[in-house]
Structure 1
Amino acid sequence: MNMEQHLAARLNHIAPFHVMELMKMAAELETDGRHLIHMGIGEPDFTAPPPVLEAAAKALTDGRLQYTSALGLPALRAAISDHYAQQFGVTVPASRIIVTAGASAALLLACAALVDVGKEVLMPDPCYPCNRHFVVAFEGKPKLIASGPEHRFQLSDDMVREHWGAHTGGVLLASPSNPTGTSIAQSELAKIIASVRERQGFTIVDEIYQGLTYDGKPSTALSLDDDVVVINSFSKYFNMTGWRLGWLVVPERIVPAVEKLAQNLFICPSAIAQHAALACFAPETLAIYEARKAAFQRRRDYIVPALRELGFNIPVTPDGAFYVYADCSHLTKDADAFAKQVLREAGVVIVPGQDFGPATAQSYVRLSYANSLENLQEAVVRLKQFLHDQG
């Protein structure tokens, strides 16, 4: 019997991650000796700073590698709680914080706990593709709502009210967002949360880029409502992508349900990563992160006007994360083909909009500035020559 006959039907609703296919193409070119400048994957070029590495080494030496609680190390949960108080002035009890195996695990747990079979979850188009696939994995129905530059590529309260139906269960937002680098204003987010609460739904807010906010002070949805569910990560601001560590904040009443799920699905997050992450919150480590954040901002302030000068239309200046979402519709009718041509001919890795939703699939590309300023400058030189050659 053909093994494909045993695959679950839900797989038909989960699309391939096209960014990864482009990365395979890039890897093949590099194997052939091509020098590429990577502006594709959203991964900081900075790695974990010395205090974090030292904490990891000490955990190894001391043999602190056993299973932890499914909720995470008590000391780490307390440190995250203190971080919310010190950085955002928000009281978030450690008892509401669940340490997870990356933000992906946090989103899986949130969807497992909240998404009923057949229930719709509203989210903006464009958005991070895995978010809608997490919903599908638990047999919910992601409902993408076209959210253009006039809305900063985010959902508004009016959109939520307009699209909420009898089968809607909640909303899944990201602020700042991947792929757009834009945030939802706190005033608008407060309205959305209130509207969802009024309809007895759930609000999940992905805040994994929260620490990388440049135009104003970073904020959190947790300051608006105790019922909101928030996802965060050690990958982006804390530069620990491969360590696979994140956290989830949930209302107190559903902690036991999420703990039960975490026990069964993950046992616990990585012990060594948790011990290392304790060092993230030391004053000297936070100073390193803030210096790196300033470097990201300098890169943004260079690359956005440089791309505009090349002819890319960037209708919304990103205020966070490390992405530029650029309209290339006057340069090409097919963003996917354009990205592949830029890769082959200019040696610059960018990604097309097709992963992020149908509304911008053919007309936008995403560029990551999680690379050195020198490399970004070289990328601009290469793109300028490429566009000149195209006539």
Structure 2
Amino acid sequence: MPTTSPTDPPIDPRSLRALQLAQRVHAIEPFRVMEMVKAAGDMKRSGTDVISMSVGEPDFGAPEIVAHAAMRAIQAGATQYTDSLGLRELREAISGHYAAVHGLDIDPGRIVVTAGASAGLLLACAALVDEGDEVLMPDPCYPCNRHFVASFGGTPVLVPASSDDRYQLGAAHVEAHWGPRTRGVLVASPSNPTGTSMTPQQLRAMLAAVRARGGFAIIDEIYQGLSYDHKPLSALALDPDAITVNSFSKYFSMTGWRLGWLVVPQALVPVFEKLAQNLFICAPTIAQQAALACFTPEALAIYEERRLAFQRRRDLLVPALRALGFTVPVMPDGAFYVYADIASVAHPHCGDSSAFAWSLLREAGVAIVPGDDFGVAAPQRHVRFSYATRLERIEEALARLERFLG
């Protein structure tokens, strides 16, 4: 019998016993960029024209050929669970992509398709990080990386990386900061928020330093398709035992489809498969079916056009920011970010990136991200610009920024 009726008074939530939250919740900080996005959205809904240079999401959607592949899959009823490692056809297509782009022979059996790169990073941390283990990563870096490690009881160790290091974790950093509890490293090349890649020499030396200590190397390569000044280099070309993470979100313009992949050593495939079975079952089936079309000549031609469009945006934005007083010591060679130092900018908030970013949003209608999301190494001096928006909007944002700076 029901214990209440429609006439019963509502239950006062204050009468419920407070739940005890897991300690890991308190260790995870808010993702501040999303607060900026929320505020910008509120302004747009109130009628203010806001130019978004905050979110790391391509303004290009999935090409029609990819969308049509998804619709065909739905119509054909190809919507049920796949193997936990992913569709065999998709893993083979990804393997072929490594051969075409990197000249690498990657066994499809080593490829694990995941629900976005985030799920791939979670699987890697679940497999490799124990309570109290330390994982080195550069500062600045993508904020969720440290939270992935902390979620499994590990301790992220942020190592300050300067522009001299291209804001990347080098062999010298590994040697200086490796301790008795250190298990490995987590790096990204190209990086969010800096857009900089590791040079081949940097990457080779860093991997060798980790390997010499018996550690693991997780390399986030989700922006490698968006490389501008050189051919992209996968860590797999230098160390077949590296664990690499990739995604269909950035280069392939499929952010909301939630699809990514890992390449792992053959011996670890059963471990990742077991974890995937229990934590995710499988990546979204429709997204996997659609992603098969990403590797067709038609789609790849579109992606190349888009890559060149991003490069043109970068080549406009960086010199313009420097002319306005921002310091950009390293030209970003990948992704779609510029990590700029505001200390020399003529503005009252040049020493407080958070106040600067919020003032720019409210007074000029331009949304950027303050540096405090990305680490503890001088975040108050840095802001991140995303150029994942069309060229004419970037030009308008620069005009507004010039007026904002007076």
TM interval, shorter chain, is over 0.9
Partner of 2:141: 127
TM-score when scaled to structure 1?
0.98
Aligned residue in 1 for 2:273: 259
For residues 198-254 of structure 1, the C-alpha deviation after alignment (integer angstroms, 9 at most, x for no partner) is 111100000000100001111100101111000000000000000000001100001
Pairwise CA distance, 1:2: 6.8
| Structure 2 unaligned regions, length at least 5 | 1-14
Alignment of 1:295-334 (within 5 A): 295-331=309-345, 332-334=350-352
Aligned to 1:23: 37
SS in 1 for 2:380: coil
Is residue 207 of structure 2 the alignment partner of residue 190 of structure 1? no
The residue aligned with 2:242 is 228
Match of 1:155 in 2: 169
1:1-391 alignment, distance < 5 Å = 5-331=19-345, 332-388=350-406
TM-superposed CA distance for 1:360, in Å, is 2.9
Tell me the CA shift for residue 330 of structure 1.
2.7
- Runs of 4+ that moved beyond 3 A: 1-5
Using the alignment, how far apart are the partners of 1:111 and 1:137 within structure 2? 9
User: 1:126 touches 1:360 (CA, 8 Å); kept in 2?
Assistant: no
Structure 1 residue 150: deviation in Å?
A: 1.1
Identity of aligned residues (%): 60
Aligned residue for 1:359, secondary structure, equals coil
Q: Given residue 363 of structure 1, which amino acid in structure 2 is its aligned partner?
A: R
Kindly provide the amino acid, as one letter, of the partner of residue 364 in structure 1. H
Higher Cα Rg, which structure: 2
- Paired amino acid for 1:305: P
What residue identity is the alignment partner of 1:68?
A: T
By how many angstroms is 1:7 displaced? 0.4
Alpha carbons of 1:117 and 1:373: their partners in 2 closer, same or farther (altered >3 Å)?
A: same
- With over 3 angstroms needed to count, the CA separation of the structure-2 counterparts of 1:104 and 1:3, relative to structure 1, is farther
**C-alpha distance in structure 1 between counterparts of 2:202 and 2:334, whole Å:** 17
Counterpart AA for 2:352 = D
Q: Distance in 2 between matches of 1:161 and 1:112?
A: 25
Where 1:189 maps in the other structure, the secondary structure is: helix
Give yes or no for contact 1:103–1:246 (8 Å, CA) kept in 2.
yes
2:74 partner letter: L
Between the aligned partners of 2:133 and 2:173, the Cα distance in structure 1 is 18
**Counterpart of 2:79 in 1: which secondary structure?**
coil
> What SS does the corresponding residue of 2:30 show, helix, strand or coil?
coil
Distance 1:351 1:3 in 2: 38
Matched to 1:88, the amino acid is H
- Structure 2 letter corresponding to 1:314: V
Range with bigger deviation, 256-265 or 7-16: 7-16
Letter in 1 for 2:88: P
Partner SS state of residue 276, structure 1 = helix
Give, in angstroms, the shift of residue 67 of structure 1: 0.3
Give the CA deviation at 1:3: 5.8
In the alignment, the residues of structure 2 paired with residue 32 and residue 283 of structure 1 have an alpha-carbon distance, to the nearest angstrom, of 43
Conserved 8 A contact 1:96-1:255: yes
Question: Partners in 1 of 2:383 and 2:26 — Cα distance?
Answer: 26
Distance 2:232 2:205 in 1: 19
- CA RMSD in angstroms comes to 0.9
* Alignment partners' CA distance in 2, 1:47 and 1:21: 23
CA contact (8 A) 1:103 1:232 kept: yes
Q: C-alpha distance in 1, partners of 2:143/2:396?
A: 29
Distance in 1 between residues matched to 2:100 and 2:29, nearest whole Å: 40
Q: Which amino acid aligns with 1:366?
A: R
Q: Which runs of 5+ in 1 are unaligned?
A: none
Cα distance in structure 1, aligned partners of 2:337 and 2:206: 25
TM-score (norm 2): 0.94
Please name the residue that 2:8 is paired with: none
